[in-house]
Structure 1
Amino acid sequence: MSRHSPVLTLLLAFSTIALVLMLVAHSQISFEAAVRGLKIWWEVVFPSTLPFIVLSEILMGLGVVHFFGVLLEPLMRPLFNVPGTGGFVLAMGFSSGYPVAAKLTTSLREQGSLTKAEGERLVSFTTTGDPLFVMGAVAIGFFHSEQMGIILSLTHYLSAILLGILFRMYAPTASISKPLDKTTSSLPYRALQAMHRARLRDRRPFGKLMGDAVQSALNTLFMIGGFIIVFSVLIQLFQAIELTAFITRLLAIILGPFGVPPSLSQAIVSGLFEVTLGAQAASDAPAAVPIVWKAAIASAVLSWGGLSVHAQVASILSATDIRVMPYLIARSLHALLAAILTVILWKPLTSMAWLQEKSVPVFLPNQSELTLSNWWDALVYSGLLMLIGGGLLVLGSLVAGYLQTLKTR
């Protein structure tokens, strides 16, 4: 159905009217759900996401993105078919979680550093959950297991990398951004030159740059908060009219022949709308359900992200010509890959001695929610992972660049 179709217009109008009637009929439930969504945004999303968005905006203004763009070009271009600036988005997206990658991709597209196809590839595999949420809230908070955090993190991010490699074949005939000019200068020197030129082009004083970064971050976070509150209300309304119960029963019938326990259908339906509810429902499944199935569903829900996150990403991408449909297809593939990897790697990982030990180091608050009192721990931990991941990317890029130099001699 075309978006210009009058049938679609009528369908959207009637759906909106039905939602308004449900809000009036279940006003108390709607109010409590809105307060719950506001609390999640204020205590979890706002303190954990604001520093990353502000810092990423400042780094882009200082030209650091262009520095990484030159330095990571030999790695990102052949591996993911995106320019080297995608390495910065990859590091920030993996460390700070959704929807930061969409925000950075939009900024790069507006600057002309990415083509339309490259932006669609990049946002598809860099939109992930942050390590604090995966290991802290889901693994320790819901499953009460540090070992589960290692397994979920590994399958979640490894499947994202595999998705990026798979999506490099997306739109193969589309135009690409300008590759690096061949020169005799070393790669680090060219990266420093690119950073300095980008800083000169920006021209904003550091005070102005920081003010713009804070303003942009607040605008983005207020938009995210609105979506979280709206979807919190919608989920509760759907439960009140037993729509989720109907979908759960239908899904149990469909997935039954594939060996999926019927009790996990609730987790899948909850995760379809909101990632936290889905992961919690997977951990609360009956004890008779094999733990590997719980982990697989939780990993799939984390990779899917939920319709709430998708609405946030769609709103951010609407400022550019980057389409949402490739992103949604990628989310489905990411969920499938993560679930399959969890089942395949479960036995080898759980048989490792270092995972069976109780002294596995997890530098996270031992609670299911991140509050204002420990947002600094979240920032330090995610920043540490970002530095480690960025260091590995730079190391791989230098090796790839050196090998490429040997071939041209």
Structure 2
Amino acid sequence: MLFTGDGWAEDHHDIEVRDATGRRLGTARLPEGVEGIAKLHALVARHGGEDLEPGQAAVGIETDRGPWVQALIAAGYRICAVNPRQAARFKERYGTSGAKSDKGDAHALADMVRIDGDQLRPVAGDSGQAQAIKVVARAHQTLIWERTRAFQRLRNTLREYFPGALNAYAGLALTSTDALELLVRAPTPETAAKLTKPQITAVLARHRRRNRDQRAAAIQAGLREPQPAIAAPAAAAHAAAATAHANLLIALNEQTAALEEQVSAHFLAHPDAEIHLSMPGTGEITGARVPAESGDDPTRYTSAKARKNYAGTSPITRASGRTHAVHARHARNDRLADALPKQAFSAINTSPGARRYYDKQRARDAGYNPAPRQLGNRLVGILHGCLKTRTLYDEATAWSHHATLPAAA
């Protein structure tokens, strides 16, 4: 076996190669791209010999994405994506000064995969379809998070000079494009009070709102409510800021909708889509985020517990002496942890077995957050079994050992 540490930067990779005894065989600084990959292959071959199999070369690197990592996976290397925090703790055995360099990272990573390689999770060889879902699903979720941040900025701005707009547009949701268009058209209390009912109705009609006359009348009345007076220059400045935030939200709405179509298209083209959609509480967007983050390599998870640990739904136990406590797992994939509770909440209303399991946890004094998390943990285990056996979700089979289902179910 050869053990390679890869301290990567934007334009280069510092490489260190060690053998099983820890002896340093060679170091190099390689450029990013095809040329660097070729030189890495040559370096490994020079020290490993002609009989070295690709699987006998392990590489430690502090990322699991990018063309460099994908090229190494395709070549058959065993890639260990090391969390930077893990690497930092490991380097403390060499010194406590806190010094950092790419060359020093390569040295520590090579030793880490040599000593603790069995404890590190190798990067899975996911299919190209799963990687495509991952790209669009992450971009879609990031836009949603950005939209939330932009909305909070807009809301804070309106509270400072035009709080009546928050009440007037409450029936539409201020993040909706029609409410934002009305705000852009009339960003100050004075201009908003001059909006006519036909003008408001026309915007609502363009966005296919129902009960347009009643909504328009309510919005007009809300915009004409007396507002606290502030200095004209300050009001104009606030209006400019609110207009900028509103235009940004309109663009985010458009791009989020466009990416949502891409997420659905890529997800439905995946061979596992039918299994994911058979799970209770799973729609196309939520379903797409699960294979996007969990991957589709059938050898990635050796057991249902391994999948639950990665998903962050399984608890962790801290026991020392007489102290014994069970806590939620916070070191987890945040994107996956965002999707699974939504699935669990939806499953409560669509699956009798999930409903009973949730009620059972609540009866055991589990709170409103722990109970759905435990249900999500159970659903992850069920999904693991379905993917392993290539079968669709079955209500009776999934909950048979938790409760006896009624004949109607």
TM bucket by the smaller chain? under 0.3
* Length-normalised TM-score, structure 1: 0.22
Structure number having the greater helix percentage: 1
Larger radius of gyration between Structure 1 and Structure 2? 2
* Length-normalised TM-score, structure 2: 0.22
Structure number having the greater strand percentage: 2
